[in-house]
Structure 1
Amino acid sequence: MDLGTIISARAVLNYARADWLGDEPDVQPVRSQDEVIIEYSAHPDAKLYLRSDDGRLHVSDLRSLEAAGNLGGTSLEMALIAPAARPVKIRIVEKGSGVRVAARLHIHGSHGEYLPPKGHHRKVNTGRFEDFAGEFANGLNQYAYVDGICEADLPIGPVYVEISRGLEVRPLRCIVEVTASTEHLTFELDKVLRWREQGWVSSDTHVHFLSPQTALLEGKAEGVNVVNLLAAQWGELFTNVGDFDGRTTIGAKDFGGDGEFLVRVGTENRMQVLGHISLLGYEGEMIKPLSCGGSNEAAIGDPLEATMADWAARCRKQEGLVVMPHAPNPQAERAADIVLGLVDAIEMMSFNPRTAQISAFGLADWYRYLNIGYHLPLVAGSDKMDAASLLGGLRTYVQLAAQDFTYRNWMDAVRSGDTFITVGPLVDMTVEGQRPGNKIALPASGGTVSINWRIESVCVPPTRVELIRNGIVVDEVRCGDLSCNGQYSLRIAESCWIAIRIRGSIAKREADIAAHTSAVYVEVGDKPIFATADAVSVLAQIEGSIAYMDTLAPKSDEARHLRLRAALELAHHRLHHKLHELGASHGHAPVHSVHVEREH
C-alpha cells in the first residue's frame, strides 16, 4: 500500500450461527483457507497492491473500493468491511440485582474479526511471560477481562457477543444489532447454581506472572474466590518477588476489599530433578532460595542447598499450606515429603481444559499414596503462565461449612480434606453422612455403607459417574443431563478409601475426567489401608532421589549435603519399617550408599 500502511492481514474466521446461539460450552470458528481480512490505515488516494497465486500484480484504488463497496472481475475479489467506528459503552450486570459484575468478554464482527474493548489488544499475545493485560485466548477465540463496564468501537450491523463468569453462571452468547444511534449495551448474567451460598468457595492454587490486581480481576471474572499467585525463579529471572510481603491478602476486608475474592502471593520453590513445591499463604520472610540445584530452574552452577522437605518444614513453621503441584511431574522427592507428613494437598493441573482436562496419570499418582495410608486432599490449579492458560480452568472447590470466608479459614478447610476439583461439573458426596476428609470406623467383620452424591453443571454435561474404591471403579452410572444424583450401597470387608470421579468433556472426548472428589476413609477393625505394591513403588522413588543427591546433584559442601540427605533417608526408613511392621513381603534395592560402586 502506498500513502498508508497495512496493520494486519488475517484469515477470515467463520462461525456457525446455529452453534453460536446454541448450548455448546466451546464454539470455535473455522479458519478460512481463501479469505483474508486486511486492516489498513491510509490516505483516500492510496492504492492497494495485491499479488495473486499466479504471480500477477493487482492494483486497487481505495476511492473506487470505498465507493463501490466491492471489486471483482479478476482472480481476486475484494469487499469493504464496515469499520469499527461506533463507540459503545458496555455494561455487564447480575440478573435480578442489576449489580455490575466482572466477566470475560468476547465480541466479533460478521467476518470473525475480533472487536476488543478499548485498552485491550486486537491480537491477544499468547507468548509466555510476554504480556499480562487481563486477556485470554481459547483456540481461535480471544477475550478481554473487564470489571463490568467498558467501551468498544463496534461496526454498524450485527456483532456476536460471548460473556462468561465461572462455573455457576450461565454463559451468554447472542447477536446484537448495532445502529448509528447505539450508545449503550447492557447484558445480564444469570447465576443458576448456588454452591457459594452453600458454603463452597472456589480456588486456583497455582498462578504465575500476573500482577496482584490483574489476578484479582481475572479471579472475579472467572468466579474464582481464591487466587494463589506464586513468585518463582526461572534461571536468572525472578517473577512476582516484589509482590510478596508475607502478610497481605489482596481483596480481604482487612485490606480494603469486599472479602469475596482474594489474592495471596506465595512461592513455588523449584528444582529440576527433585521437584517443585508450592508454599501458600505463609507469613513473614520469603522462603529462599526460590530455586536451587542448577539449571534450568536455578541459575547455572547453583548448588543443591535445600530440599523440598526443608522448604515444606519452613512453610509449616510460618503457618502456610504445603501443596505438591502439577501431579505427577516431577516425581522425585515428593514421595519422601509425603511419607514425612510434610504435604497438605496434592494438586492436579491443566493449562486449558479445552485441550487437556484432569490428568489420569496425576490421579493415579494420588491414588498410590492413598493406598498406603496417607490422607491427602485433592486440589487443582491452572499453572497459568500465559494468555492461552485459563485461570481457574481446572479449579478446587472447598467446603467452609459454618466458618467465615477468610484466606486462613480457606487453608484450614483444604487441610481438613472436604474438596473436589472440576472443569465444570460440581459434585457433592457423603459416605454414611461423612464428608471427604473424614473417617468411618467399622468392626472387624466389615459392613455396608451408603454413598450419596449429587452433580450440577451449567454447560459441561457429566456423562458418567464412577464410584472409586482404592483406585478401582466398583460401580458407575450414566448421566444424561446437566444435573443428576444417586445413592450406592457398598459392602466393605477391608479398610479402604472412597471417592467419586466424573467423566465429561468440554471438547466431547469420551475418556476425559471432568471432576473428582477427595476421599472418605473407611477403617475396618484395626487393619490400615496398605497396598504393598504401591509402597514398594514409593520406596523406589525415594531411593532414586537419594541416588541423584549422591551422584549428580551439584554440592556445595559435604556437611550440608549430609544434612539434606538425612531427611530423605529418614523417609525411606519410615516406609521401609512400615512394610516390615505390616508383614509385607517385598523385594527392592537397598537405599543408595555413596560407598557402593554403581552405574548412574
Structure 2
Amino acid sequence: MLALGLTLGGWSKALAQRAGQLQVVVRDAATGKPTPVRVRLTRADGGPVPVVPPQVVAVQYGLWDHADGYAFQPDSSFYVSGTFSLTLSPGTYNLSLSKGNEYLHQTHRLHIRPGQVLRQTYALKRWIHMAARHWYSADDHIHIRRSPRENPLLLDWIRAEDVNVGVLLKMGDFWETYYPQYAFGEKGTYQQGAFLLMPGQEDPRTPELGHALGFGASGSVRYRQDYYLYDRVFDELHRRGGLTGYAHQAESFHGYRGLTLDGLRGKVDLLEILQYCVSAEPLRTEHYYHLLDLGIPLTATAGSDFPWCGHDHDHGPPEHSARIGNARFYTYINGPLTPAAWQAGVAAGHTFVTSGPILDLQVNSPAERGPARPGDRLAVKKGSTLTIRAEALGEATQVPLTALELVAHGRVLARVTPQQPGQSAARLVAQLDLPDVQQGLWIAARCYGGPRSAAHTTPVYVSVDGGGFHNPETAQAYLDKSEAYLRELEAELDTHRDNPEFRAWYYKQPLKTRIEATRQVIADLRKRLIRP
C-alpha cells in the first residue's frame, strides 16, 4: 500500500548493525497521563520507516471494504495509545505527533546511535478545549467495518484525533453493501467517557441523485427493489428515530438533484458542507444557500469520508491526506455527552463545521433574554434592531486565521482580517447592528484560515412578525434553478443506458411522480415567496 523505500529484508539487515531503540511516552499536558496519539516516523530523507511498534492500534480498513490498510494510515502514520517502542537502525529520524485540531502538533529530530536506548517523553498541549465549553466534535462520515471486538480499538483511533463522536457508515450501492456494522441504534453505540462510536448509513448512493446519509436510527434501511426512491428510506429512517441528509456538499454524483427532490419536500435534515472530496477548498455552500434562501432549514455537518477523501501525501502535506477528522463539526450540548443529547443537538442545528478554526455566533434582539446561537429561531417585530456578533479563534502558528465574515441571505454583511486594528491571526471578532429589520433572514458566520482551512455555522433563523426567513431577492432564481435540476433528472429518466451503474431510467414512473410533487412545491413557493 505504501512506498516504504526499504524492503523488510533490507531493513532487517540494517538492524543487524547494532541497532538502537526508541522508547516514547506521549502525555496530555493538562492531565499528565498517556494519551492516544497519531505518530509519523520518517527517515532523514523523508521516507517512512517500514515497520510499526508492537503497541500500534491496528484495525483493517480500505476502499470498497478491501484490506488496503491495517497498522499504517494512508500517510504512513500510525496510532498508539500513548506509549511505544521501536528498534531502529542508527541514523537521523523525524518524529511527528498530532492529536486532532485542538492540540498543537509537534515535530522532533531524533538521532539514534548504535546500541543506544533513546527514551523520550512529550507533552501535547491544547490551544483550545471545546468539550469544556460544551461543544463536542464529530466526524459523520467514516467507513470502517466493525464488530464489537473493534470498538475499543476504533475508539482509540477517534481519541487519537480528538473526535468525540465517530459515525461509522455502512455503505451501499445498487448491488451491494460494504463496511458492515454489527448493530444499529442503542445496541450499535459504544461509549467511553466523552467519546463514542455511532452507526449510520450512506445508502442509497447513485450517480444520478447523489449519496444519502442517515444516522441515529434504530436500524438501517435499504429497499433494493425501490433503490432510487430515496424518500422511502428517509421516511423510514425518521420513523426509526434517525436523521437524514446528503453527503459531499450535494456536488458530487449530482447530489443537488436529490437534494432538490427531497429537500424541497421536507425529507432532509442535514447537509455535509465541508469535506475534502470535491475540492482542495473544503467549504462548499452553493447548494446549502440554495435551500436556505428558499426558507428551508438545514443543519450544517462535516465528515472526512475516510479512507476515501483527502489530499494524497505524495502531492501535499501529510496533514491533508485521508484521515479521520480532517473535516469535522461541533455540536453544542448543555450537559454531558450522550448519544441522545448529541443527536438532539444536531437535529436542532446547534452546529458549526470546521477543518481547523473555531467559530461562535450570537444574534441578539432587545426583546430577547439571551443570544440566539446556530440553529435557533429568533422571532422579532418589524423595525427591530439585531445585534450580530461572531468570534473566530485560531492559533497563530498552526491554525492562523485569514478572514471572518458575517453572512445573511448569502451576502457578506461584515468582514474582518488580521491586518485590521484589534484583530489577529489567533482571534477575529466581527460585530454590527442591523437596524430596522423589515423581513426575515438567515444569519451565519464563516471564516477562513488559508485556502484549505475554513469553518461555517448553521444559521440563526430570524422571523419578522411571524413570517419566514427566506430571501425574496433570490427566490425566483433559486426556484428556476430547482426546476432546471428537475429537468436534468427527467432527461436521465428518458435515456435508456446499458451501463449498469446508471439505473434511474428503470424507475422512470415513480421518479416522475416525485418530480411532479416537487414541481407543485415549487409552484406553491413561487406564490408565497416572490413579490408581485
| Shared fold per TM-score greater than 0.5 | yes
Q: Partner residue of 2:447?
A: 502
Is 1:150 the equivalent of 2:84?
yes
Cα contact 2:143–2:169 (8 A) shared by 1:
yes
Partner of 1:75: none
Structure 1 residues 166-177: aligned runs within 5 Å: 166-177=100-111
SS in 1 for 2:44: coil
Partner Cα distance (2:7, 2:70) in 1: 25
- Of Structure 1 and Structure 2, which has the larger fraction of its residues in strand? 1
Paired letter, 1:477: V
Query: Deviations along 1:415-466, whole A, 9 cap, x unmatched?
Result: 111111111111111011110111223323x333111222222422110111
CA RMSD across the alignment = 3.3
Unmatched tracts of structure 1, length 5 or more? 1-6, 11-36, 45-79, 253-257, 293-302, 586-600
Distance in 2 of aligned mates of 1:551 and 1:9: 47
Asked whether 1:358 is paired with 2:298, we answer no
1:104 aligns with 2:26: no
- The correspondence of residues 128-527 of structure 1 with structure 2, limited to 5 A, is 129-138=66-75, 142-179=76-113, 180-182=115-117, 184-211=119-146, 213=151, 215-234=154-173, 238-252=177-191, 258-269=192-203, 270-284=205-219, 286-289=220-223, 304-329=226-251, 330-351=255-276, 356-359=280-283, 362-386=284-308, 388-400=321-333, 402-432=334-364, 433-444=371-382, 446-458=383-395, 459-479=398-418, 480-491=424-435, 492-505=437-450, 509=451, 512=452, 514-527=454-467
CA–CA distance in structure 2, aligned partners of residues 109 and 555 of structure 1: 51
Residue 527 of structure 1: how far off its partner (Å):
4.3
Whole-Å separation in 2 of the counterparts to 1:125 and 1:245: 20
* Contact residue 357 and residue 423 of structure 1 kept, 8 A: no
Which amino acid is the alignment partner of residue 100 of structure 1?
A: P
Q: Which amino acid aligns with 1:190?
A: K
CA distance in 2, matches of 1:407, 1:333: 28
Contact 2:374 2:458 survives alignment (8 Å): yes
Q: Hey, what's the Cα distance between the residues in 1 that align with 2:189 and 2:39? A: 24
Residues 127-166 of structure 1 deviation map (CA, whole Å, 9 limit, x = unaligned)? 774423253344xxx3111121222222335432110111
Query: What secondary structure, in the 3-state scheme, does the structure 2 residue paired with 1:473 have?
Result: strand
1:328 Cα deviation after fit: 2.6
Distance in 2, Cα, partners of 1:9 & 1:345: 40
Indicate if the aligned counterparts of 1:117 and 1:153 stay in contact, CA closer than 8 A: no
Residue 3 of structure 1 aligns with which residue? none
TM normalised by structure 2 equals: 0.82
- Aligned amino acid, residue 336 of structure 2: D
Q: Is the 8 A contact 1:248 1:264 kept in 2?
A: no
Following superposition, the deviation at residue 555 of structure 1 comes to 8.0
Q: Could you tell me how far 1:40 is from its partner in structure 2?
A: 5.3
User: What is the one-letter code of the residue matched to 1:363?
Assistant: T
Deviations 1:267-298 (A, max 9, x none): 111122122211112103x3114xx6xxxxxx
What amino acid sits opposite 2:34 in the alignment?
R
> In structure 2, do the counterparts of structure 1 residues 523 and 170 end up closer, same or farther at CA, with 3 Å as the change threshold?
same
CA contact (8 A) 1:267 1:279 kept: yes
SS across alignment from 2:257: coil
The CA deviation string for residues 277-327 of structure 1, in whole angstroms up to 9 with x for no partner, is: 11112103x3114xx6xxxxxxxxxx6544111110010011111121111
Q: Secondary structure at the match of 1:466?
A: strand
Q: Deviations over 1:358-395 (max 9, x none)?
A: 23xx3011011110100111100111134941211011
What SS does the corresponding residue of 1:209 show, helix, strand or coil? coil
Deviates more, 1:414-423 or 1:177-186: 177-186
Compared with structure 1, are the counterparts of its residues 191 and 381 closer, same or farther at alpha carbon in structure 2 (3 Å cutoff)?
same
Shift of 1:182: 1.8
Equivalenced residues, count = 483
Query: Counterpart of 2:444 in structure 1: which amino acid?
Result: A
CA displacement at 1:245 relative to structure 2:
4.0
Unmatched tracts of structure 2, length 5 or more: 311-320, 365-370, 419-423, 497-501
Using the aligned pairs only, state the percent identity: 23
Please give the alpha-carbon distance, in whole angstroms, between the structure 2 residues aligned to 1:328 and 1:478: 30
Q: Structure 1 residues 235 and 152 mapped into 2: Cα distance closer, same or farther (>3 Å)?
A: farther
Between stretches 544-553 and 147-156, larger displacement belongs to 544-553
Kindly state the Cα deviation for residue 565 of structure 1 after the two structures are TM-superposed.
4.4
Does the Cα contact within 8 Å between 1:268 and 1:278 map onto a contact in 2?
yes
Structure of higher CA gyration radius: 1
For the structure 1 residues 131 and 554, does the alpha-carbon distance in structure 2 shift closer, same or farther, using more than 3 Å as the test? closer
**Which 10-residue stretch deviates more, 372-381 or 330-339?**
330-339
Contact 2:350 2:458 in 1 (8 A): yes
Q: What is the alpha-carbon distance in structure 2 between the residues aligned to residue 111 and residue 450 of structure 1?
A: 54
Q: Distance in 2 between matches of 1:43 and 1:163?
A: 26
Letter in 1 for 2:280: A
When structure 1 is superposed on structure 2, of 494-503 and 169-178 the one drifting more is 169-178
Change (3 A) 1:181 1:515: same
> Are the counterparts in 2 of residues 352 and 390 from structure 1 also a CA contact under 8 Å?
no
Separation of aligned partners in 2, 1:352 and 1:418: 24
Shift of the 349–455 alpha-carbon distance from structure 1 to 2, 3 Å rule, reads closer
Moved more, 126-135 or 461-470: 126-135
What SS does structure 1 have at the residue aligned with 2:402? strand
Report if aligned partners of 1:539, 1:576 keep a CA contact under 8 Å in 2: no
What TM-score, normalized to structure 1?
0.73
Do the aligned partners of 1:132 and 1:210 also contact (CA within 8 Å) in 2? no
Give, as a single letter, the amino acid of the residue that structure 1 aligns with 2:326: G
Letter of the structure 1 residue corresponding to residue 332 of structure 2: Q
Correspondence for 2:47 among 100, 113, 116: 113
Change (3 A) 1:556 1:581: closer
Change (3 A) 1:167 1:318: same
Higher helix share: 2
Does the 8 Å contact 1:312/1:342 carry over to 2?
yes
How far is 1:195 from its partner? Answer: 1.2
Shift, 1:573, TM fit: 1.0
2:200–2:215 contact (8 Å) kept in structure 1:
yes
